Structure formats: C-alpha cells, structure tokens
Structure 1
Amino acid sequence: MRILFSATPAYGHVLPLAPLMHAAVDAGHTVALATSAGVQNEVGPELAAEVEFLTAGAMPMEFSQDAAHRTGADPFHPSPELIGEIFGGSRVDLGGADTITLARTWAPDLVVSEAFDAIGPMVAADRGIAWYRAGFGPATPAVLAEIERAAATRYRDAELDVAAPHGYLDPCPAPMQDPEWSSDVPVLPLRAQAHRRRRDMAVELPTFDDPTKPTALVTLGTIFSDPDVLAATVGALAGHDINVIATLGASLKNPAAGDKQPSPTPNGIEVRFVPFVPLGQLLDRADLVVGSGGAGTVLGALAHGLPMVLWPQGADQPINAARAAAAGTAITVDNAASISPAVRKVLTDSEFRSRAEAMAAENARRLSPADVIGRIAAT
C-alpha cells in the first residue's frame, strides 16, 4: 500500500508522525510525506532515507504572516479564528494545489493527516480515498472547527467534496483529554512516543561532575526558544541540588553548546546547554521536566513517567499545561519567580511522580504505531 502522510512544516507537527511512518515502512508499505521543502532537512536523516518527500507550499512564518496581513490580527497572539485562517486558509492557499498535483503522480492509497493539516484531506478527496486524522496532543475542538471553517471555502473553490476522516489517531492518555471532549469519528488510542533517533543511533549527551543528583530537563521546544525566557527559567533553578540539561531549540545558537556553562557559585547547579537532540534521548536522562508545555514535550514526559513544571508561552501550550496540571502530573506557573517553589514541590511530593508513572503505564497499554498502521491499512 502507498500511504501519504501530510503535515504542517514544523517539528511539533511532523515528528509525532515519525513513529507511524517508520512503522508503515517496517510493514512493507511505500511511504511519502507531504510538507514544505524547508522542513525536509530538519526532521532527521533517518526519516529522509526511508520516506519520499512531496514538497510544496510555504513555511510557517510565511503563511502565518499572510493570514495576519489578510485579517489584520497579531500572529504572535493568535485567536482561534486566526489559527483557522493560518492553517485552514493561508497554508492551503500557498500549497494546496501544488500538493494535489504532486499526489496525483505519486498516487497514494491512504492519507494520514496531522490534526492541524487541511491539505491532506484535499488530497484524499481528489483521489477518492480514505484518510485518518492524527492528533499530537489534547484535542482542541474549537480550534479544529476554525481550521475546518477556513478550509471549507478553499475546498468549495477547488470543487472538492472532503469527507470526514475514517478515524482519529489519539496519542493523548485519557486523563490528559478534556473530560467533555468526544469524537465524531472512531478513535484509535495511539501510544505516545517521544522522538528519538531511528534504531537508537548514537547521541552524545553531556556529563556532570556529580551524576547522582536529580537531573532537570529544561526545554522550551523548537518555536518558543526565547533566550530571555530560557535564561530566566534556568536561573530560577538556582539553589536546588540538581543537574540541569537545557535545550537551545531550533532558533538559538550557542558557541559553547555542549560545554560546561559558567554559573555563579551560589546557584549550586551545573548546567549543560545542548543544541537540538531528539527528546526521547534527553528524557532518558531526566528526573523532572521544566518547560513551556508543547504537546510533544508533555506527552513525551508522561510516556517516561516524569513530572513537570510548566510555564506556557503561547500556541497550544496553555491547554497542554492546564490538562497536565488537572491530571496531577504537573504544576503550571505564569512567571519565572514561581518556578523555584514549584520545582521544590514536585521534587519532594511523590504524588506528582506517582501520577506521571500511572500515566506512563496507561500510555503503554495503548496501541503501538505498528498496531495502528495494521488497522488503518486494512481500511
């Protein structure tokens, strides 16, 4: 079978699909990924070696600015309506037709489209084939409705009758979902996995003078990698008897990355800054996650049974952080000054870790990517 995956060109949208793509390749299917050319070299050589890329359309900054220009809204503080125009409007305008043209030549038998992607459903309609929606965090029905509203105009203009997905691939453990959410289509509970190198490719990780101390992983993800926020977050850990690994994300550069960073003696902590490293390898070393609450970070931490302190910065992070806090696996803060007492509480109150470990056990009982591919390929 030829399976086409379609995703917004950003780490947080592409990487959650990687386990499914690898599982499809392992099952003998031919796999392609439809996304923008700018993301092709950023998702890892092991994926590029196995998956064909159908590259078309703009990168996030371009289609976000296009939507902001059309609506007069602020792309850095988007409303659900603007998010709809970004993903269901401008991204489709700038890449939908070209993707359909490429897909006609590639000729998929099935489409898997990540939750914010409005182009994959167009391809499925054009080809007259089934498609599945793949979540990457807690469901956001209000946002999805706005994306579908904006996309519907483009579908009509293209004379495409886009059907509902055959099912929803849900990587979010039940306690992380809004209890009032329900799906209009069948749900396949997919096991969440933090991104890691294919076949455990070697990744060099930093060492500490005293490796017996607990390790906090500080990560702001790949988009909200603001240097001031990162500095404030790391600084807030001063005085705790811990080691710290801090990620620089995709947008920060540090000539001393990976080397021991100087820190004032009163801090009492060792900090190691690292460039982009697959999250799974970093979580293997962590006892606690301190971050902004991206869906990949939150679900990855819970898959590893790790408690969190979350300081949301934007996008879907407030939703993810709120759900993690409601599940009793995280403390959510709204400023840097609140991080230190929150870290102290999470480190000393075993309930946070116990609940995170229970979430990891629930996640492990969900369908593996291989199981999900087997089911959807039988559609």
Structure 2
Amino acid sequence: MRVLFSAVPAYGHLLPLAPLIEAALADGHEVAVMTHEELRPAVTGELAPGVRMLPAGPSPMEFVGEAARRTGTDPLRPTPVAVGELFGATRLDLGAAESLDRARDWEPDAVVAESYDTIGPLIAATLGIPWHEAGIGPGRPAETVEMIEGTAARYYREAGLSPVAATSYLDPWPAALQDPDWSSEVPVLPMRGRAHRRPEGASAPQRGFTHPDRTGVLVTLGTIFSDPEVLTEFVTAVSHHPLNLRVTLGMALESGANAERADEVSDSGAEIHYVPFAPLEDLLTGTNLVVGAGGSGTVLGALCRGIPLVLCPQGADQPINAIRAEAAGVAVVVESPAEITGAIEKVLSDPSYAQRAQAVAAEIASRPAPGEVLRALLGEREPVA
C-alpha cells in the first residue's frame, strides 16, 4: 500500500509519527510524508530511510503569522479561538490546493494524520480513502476539536466537500496522564510510545561528565520555546545543585549567538553541557530527572524511561500536559523558573515520583507496538513487495 503521513510543519508534530513510519516501511509499504519544505532535514535525518518527501503547504512562519494577523493573538500562547484559526482555516486556506495536487500525483491508499493536522483529513475526503488520526499528546479537549473543525468547515463548504471522520485514533499517551473526561468518537487503538530516536546508526553518543556517578538532569524547553533569557533562568535554577546537566539549545538558538554557549561549571559544582538538537532517546541516557517546559514529546519520552519531571510551562499544549503529569504524581509543576530549585529538591527527595514514573513506563511498555497497530488499521491487504 501507499501510506501518506501528514503533519503540521513542526518537529513536535512530525517526529511522533516516526515509529509508525518506521513500521510501515518495515512491512514493505510505500511511505510519503507531507509537510513544508523546511522540515526536509527532519524527514531525511530523523526518519527511517526510504521515506518520500512531498513538500506542500505554508511554512511555519507563514501560517502562524497569518493566524496571528487574523486573530490578533500570540500564536504560541493562543486562545481556543486562535487554535481553531491556526490549525483550521488558516492552514487550509494557505496550503490545501498545493497539498491536494501533490496527493493526487502520488495516489495514496490511506492517510495517517497527526491530531492537529487538517490537510491529511482533507486529502482523504477528496480522494475517498480512509484516514487515521495519530495522537501526539493527551486527547484534544472537546473545545479545541470544535474550534478547529468549526473553522475548517468553511473551507469544506466552499470546496463542495463533507468532512469524513477518522477510521481510528492511534493513542500513544499513557492512560494515567489522559484526561478522565476525554473520549473519542472513533475506535481508539492504544499504541506503545517512545522517546524520539534516529534510525539505527545515525545517532552520536553524548559527551561524558567528569563525575558520572552524580544525578543527571536534562534541561529542555523543546524545539520552539527556546528564549535565551528563559533558558538561562532554567539553568541558573537547576545549577544550584551539584548535578550533571545536559541543556538543549532548541531549534531557535542553534542559528543564533547562543549556539556557541560554552560548557561550564557552576559555583555549586554543577557540570553543564550545552547540546544542539539531538534525539530525546540519546539525551535521556544517564538522566534521572527532566526539567522542562512540558511539551508532549518531552513528557512522553521521559515517562517511557520512567523518569520524573519538573515542569514550568511556557505555552501551546504545555499547561495541559503539566496538569495531567502533576495529577498522575510524576511531576512537580511550577509557575516560574525561580521555583525550580525547590521543586528539584522535592522530586529527588521523595521516591514516590520516580516510583509512579516507573509504573507509567510499565503501562506504556505493555501496549501494542506500532507495527502491530499499523497492521490492524491497514487491514488484511498485502503490503507491496
């Protein structure tokens, strides 16, 4: 079969599809990824070899900027109405025509679209093929779904189309962190999540620490929220303890002056290594605690390894993820970087946080592997030779 994966042009939306893409290729299917050209490095470097890139749609700056113009809000800290406009009407207005042209040329048999993508479902409705929704975090709140579908509905009406419901929902999010009020209108297929990793042999080992027996902490704001001043505040708060720190620079900092931040040792003796973008799986090796903003990939990846967290949300879906992680007893959530120092002490001195994180890891590990889930959703048709 030809399976088209469609994602909003952002690492946090594309990379969660990697396990399914890898499984589809392993089963002999043809695979293409549709997202903006700017994500080509992620497609070629972070996904399994053999993926075809179908560049289409607006760039991240184009559709985020246009949504901000339409709503007058900060797209990184949006209201529900702005979320609907961002992922619904704006993205379809700017990218649907080009995306449909590329999809018609490639002729997919099925579409897998991540939860915030509206291009994939449109392609499925236009071509009359099934599509499946792939979760990238907790199930979307009903209000968010209504806002996105409401703004997208105008585009469907003008195109003379009717939206088509997903055939299934692929859920990698641990049950303990799911909103108890969330439900899906389509069948839910639980799936084993994992921290992002590169194809075999593509990752490089991280630098070692002078005192490898110390507690290891990963400090990360993710790929989007990489404000230099905020990152400095996080590092300052964490480095009050004599720990081994790996600090990710994020995508925004890598191209700026802060990309050259030098490793250092704090007054407390904390050894600080600054690292460019790398797969979370590599960064979690030797890590006992994650301090971050609370992106879905960071939270899920840490919990796959049974690692507790200290979270200081900055925007987007991070406040929701933080609330669910705190409710599950696997994280302490703070409102400002100044509170991180005390939160670290709390998590490291109370073994219940690590115990609960390990219980969540066991639940994740018990779920069906992505390959099993993929075979179930694609049915009995034989893969291509």
TM-score range, shorter-chain basis? over 0.9
Q: Normalising by structure 1, what TM-score?
A: 0.96
Residue in 1 that maps onto 2:264: 262
1:109-138 deviations in Å (ceiling 9; x for gaps): 110010000010111011111111011001
Distance in 2, Cα, partners of 1:19 & 1:76: 27
Structure 2 counterpart of 1:42, one-letter code? A
Residue in 2 that maps onto 1:311: 312
Residue in 2 that maps onto 1:69: 69
Distance in 1, Cα, partners of 2:79 & 2:288: 35
Residue in 2 that maps onto 1:41: 41
Distance in 2, Cα, partners of 1:164 & 1:105: 24
Structure 1 counterpart of 2:290, one-letter code? V
- State the Cα distance separating 1:41 from its structure 2 match: 1.5
Change (3 A) 1:325 1:134: same
Structure 2 counterpart of 1:318, one-letter code? P
Residue in 2 that maps onto 1:85: 85
User: Any unmatched runs of 5+ in structure 1?
Assistant: none
- State the Cα distance separating 1:206 from its structure 2 match: 1.6
Residue in 2 that maps onto 1:31: 31
Identity %, equivalent residues: 51
- State the Cα distance separating 1:255 from its structure 2 match: 7.1
Structure 2 counterpart of 1:355, one-letter code? R
For 1:114-129, list aligned pairs within 5 A. 114-129=114-129
**Secondary structure at 2:181 match in 1:** coil
Is contact 1:73–1:82 with CA below 8 Å preserved after alignment?
A: yes
User: Any unmatched runs of 5+ in structure 2?
Assistant: 381-385
Change (3 A) 1:67 1:98: same
1:55-95 deviations in Å (ceiling 9; x for gaps): 11112221111112123333243101111101111111111
4+ runs of 1 displaced by more than 4 Å? 254-260
Distance in 2, Cα, partners of 1:53 & 1:140: 27
Residue in 1 that maps onto 2:190: 189
**Secondary structure at 1:4 match in 2:** strand
**Secondary structure at 1:111 match in 2:** strand
- State the Cα distance separating 1:219 from its structure 2 match: 0.5
Distance in 1, Cα, partners of 2:329 & 2:366: 20
Is contact 1:116–1:144 with CA below 8 Å preserved after alignment?
A: no
Change (3 A) 1:193 1:200: farther
- State the Cα distance separating 1:172 from its structure 2 match: 0.6
**Secondary structure at 2:329 match in 1:** coil
Structure 2 counterpart of 1:359, one-letter code? V
Residue in 2 that maps onto 1:217: 218
Residue in 2 that maps onto 1:227: 228
Residue in 2 that maps onto 1:104: 104
Cα RMSD of the aligned pairs, angstroms, is: 1.6
Residue in 1 that maps onto 2:373: 372
Distance in 2, Cα, partners of 1:365 & 1:258: 42
Distance in 1, Cα, partners of 2:26 & 2:96: 29
Change (3 A) 1:183 1:318: same
- State the Cα distance separating 1:200 from its structure 2 match: 4.3
Is contact 2:134–2:171 with CA below 8 Å preserved after alignment?
A: yes
Q: Which moved more, 1:2-11 or 1:64-73?
A: 64-73
Asked if residue 236 in structure 1 is aligned to residue 217 in structure 2, the reply is no
Asked if residue 207 in structure 1 is aligned to residue 208 in structure 2, the reply is yes
- State the Cα distance separating 1:344 from its structure 2 match: 0.8
For 1:248-259, list aligned pairs within 5 A. 248-253=249-254
The number of equivalent residue pairs is 378
Change (3 A) 1:256 1:78: closer
Structure 1 counterpart of 2:263, one-letter code? Q
1:200-249 deviations in Å (ceiling 9; x for gaps): 43413121110000100000000001111111111102331311000001
Distance in 2, Cα, partners of 1:70 & 1:370: 41
